[in-house]
Chains A and B, each alone.
Chain A
Amino acid sequence: MAELYTVENLRLSLADMTRKPLLGAAPRIEVLRGLSFSIAKGEIIGIVGGSGSGKSTLGRALIRLLEPSGGSIRFDGQDITHLGEEALRPHRRRFQMIFQDPMSSLNPRHRVGQIIAGPLRLHGFDRVEARVMQALDHVGLPRGFAQRYPHELSGGQRQRVGIARAIALEPEFILADEIVSGLDVSSQAQVLRLLEDLVRELGLTLAFISHDLSVIRRLCHRIMVLYRGEIVELRQTAELFADPQAAYTRELLEAIPLPDPEQRWI
């Protein structure tokens, strides 16, 4: 399989503003400490870790919302590690993001139709109206929802709008950052099923960030476990669950409360 992303020795540090002295520069925190991996076209990769593991920072580096401080990211053969905003613009459409909290990532003053149409216009697509309708069809929302405002929708429906906005641009890669952690179990199941279907239908490549291994077991082909900015395990999903190698992976697995009173847990 061809590779969509090739990442080598990726490093990223950010200023630690909580420890910034009154005068002078803030000390740097190493958030990503030399990550190397690749993502194949059509693959669904899970990125898992606790708070502060660097999983969201990694996601944001992949779609170049953040600039790495070392190493390289190649997207579809091209080095995008340090591309400037101008040079990135033609690529932006090709990698899209779905956010954790649809309430704060969807403009409350815009109707769903406008929300999905905005990026389409920005990227110069034709037949915008038709594409909006098609995106709504894809995520299983009635076309009439184009006229509604985000506050009129349930959490699961809002998350579908976020997905529709991303796929309308016909991207090759989608980053989904904790997109089901705010949903209750039944909407969670629906959104995950939907993503599974869309990836297959539209030939997408997906990176799915989560702190919960049980949520991503069904969805992901491979899983990367991050701990303090380093990859502690990166393997096929079935293998990882059958025989977790890293102590941190086991800790994450054992922390999950299975819906089973017999499981020894507390």
Chain B
Amino acid sequence: MSFLSVKNLTLRLRDNRAPLLRDVSLEVSAGEVHGLVGESGAGKSMIGKAVLGILPRAVEIAGGEIWLDGVDLLTLPPAARRKRVGGLAALIPQDPLTALNPSRRIGPQITDRLVDILGWKRTEAEARALDLLGEVQINDPARVMRQYPHELSGGMRQRILIASAFAAEPKLIVADEPTTALDVTVQKQILRLIAGMQARHGTALLFVTHDLGVVSKVCQSLSVLYAGRILEQSTVRDFFAAPTHPYSAALLGATPKYTDPEGSLTPVPEAIIARLRAEIAAYDEAHHG
């Protein structure tokens, strides 16, 4: 039984009904790290947002089911849904600067959610926050709790958001390009941290990224998306041994690889893109209305 099961999810823009996700299905087991890979606009972030119930207002769910721990979230009324998702799932966002409120101290930004939504006692929540800040290797957590976001580096802010995501012991975390804004050495520290926390807490992870290098390091399985369609689902081992879809193979060939400069950074061939576009157009034609 999968912990997260997305079935035939279709999303579209409210005003012109343009599809964003087309009939997307995926399964993530408890404790599994699943990568969502694709170029900008492929819809990989939208899947995570739909699961967490934080889709932009302009986007509506046109069909499908999102089963989280045995309940289809889309059948719940909004308040019940928020409560269920809040207890089971959390987000590590991409940009640590915009995700933190610049005018508030770090402490309450971690504890408020625990107190207000999950009904913890303030003292409990504060103790938990201190523990977790320690776990993400922040020195002097008590001091950092009293600081403001601008007083901290990008890497520190990302650590705080990781601590915050794990605070309520969620069973699923959506990590939305958590290291894209960081340089390679900081990226490595942060990924190592996320992987370690994930393993210790047994949390399932939906890991959104465009970097196949990162996927090969932190994920066990992955879905490759193009224009809101899943082209390939596979275990990481099988995928990197031999991707089955030509687009996946092309994406792998475009990925920089310093050990093979001639065989990497090859743009995705026009012919593959043209064929994908034709397939998408045919799909939209068949599902019109």
Q: Which residues of A come within 8 Å of B, CB atoms?
A: 50-51, 154-155, 184-190, 192-193, 211-215, 217-218, 241, 251-261, 263, 265-266
Contacts and interface: CB of A to CB of B under 8 A. Distances in A.
A241 B262 CA distance: 14
Contacts of B250: 186
A69 to B, nearest CB: 26
A193 B265 contact: yes
A162 B218 CA distance: 35
A211 B210 contact: no
Contacts of A258: 213, 216, 257-259
A51 B154 contact: yes
Contact of B254 (A185, A263, A265): A185
B267 interface: yes
A241 B261 CA distance: 11
A188 B254 contact: yes
Contact of A193 (B192, B195, B211, B267): B267
A193 B268 CA distance: 12
Most buried by A among B185, B215, B256, B259: B256
Given A253-B258, A259-B212, A266-B192, A218 B183 contact: no
Q: Which 3 A-B pairs rank lowest in CB-CB distance, beginning with the nearest?
A: A257-B213, A214-B258, A211-B183
Contacts of A253: 258
A265 B217 contact: yes
Contacts of B191: 257, 266
Contacts of A256: 184, 213, 258
B40 A192 contact: no
A28 to B, nearest CB: 21
A218 B216 CA distance: 22
B8 interface: no
Most buried by B among A192, A193, A218, A241: A218
Given A252-B184, A255-B188, A258-B216, A189 B258 contact: no
B185 A251 contact: yes
Contact of A189 (B183, B216, B240, B265): B265
Contact of B184 (A192, A212, A218, A241): A212
8 contacts: A51-B186, A187-B39, A252-B184, A256-B184, A257-B217, A258-B216, A261-B236, A266-B217
B252 interface: yes
Interface in B223-237: 236-237
